[in-house]
A and B are shown apart, each in its own frame.
Chain A
Amino acid sequence: MTDTTATRIRPVVKKPVDWWRWAGRVFLTFLLLFTVLPMAWMILTSVKSQFAAMQYPPQWWPAEPTLNNYFKLLDPTQRIGQDFLRYFWNSFYVSLLTTILGVVVAVPAAYAFSRFRFPGRNFMFFAVLVRNMFPAVVFLMPLFLLMRWMGLVNTHGSLILTYLTFGLPLSIWLLKGFYDNIPIQLEQAARIDGATRLQAFLLIVMPLSTPGIIATSIFSFIGAWNEYVYAYTFLSRDDQMTLPVGIQRFFTEFATDWPGLMAATFLMSVPVVVMFLVLQKYFVRALTEGAVKH
Chain B
Amino acid sequence: MNVVHYRKQATNRALLFLLPFALALPSCHKDADSRRDFALQYWSSNNGGEIRFSQWTVEEWNSKHPENPVKYQPVPEGQSSEEIILAAVVAKTTPDIYSNIWQGLVEFYSRSGILVPLDTLDGFMEFIQQRCDSATIREITSSDGHIYQVPWKINPILSIYNKRIIEALNMGGFPPTYSTYLEAARRFQKDTDGDGYVDQWFGNTSVKLAWYQRLFNFYPLYLAASGGMPLIKDGRANFNNQYAIGAFRFLQELYRENYFSRQVEAAGQDLFIAEKYASKWTGPWEIEYLEKYKRKDFDYAFAPIPVPDGHEGPVYTYCDPKSIVIFNTCQNPQLALEFIKIMVSEEGDLQFLQHTNQLPRRQNMDTLPRFREFFAQNPRLQVFAEQARFVKGADICEVLVEVFDILSQEYEACVIYQMKSPEEAIADAEKAVNVLLRVREGPDF
Judge: A and B partners, yes or no. no
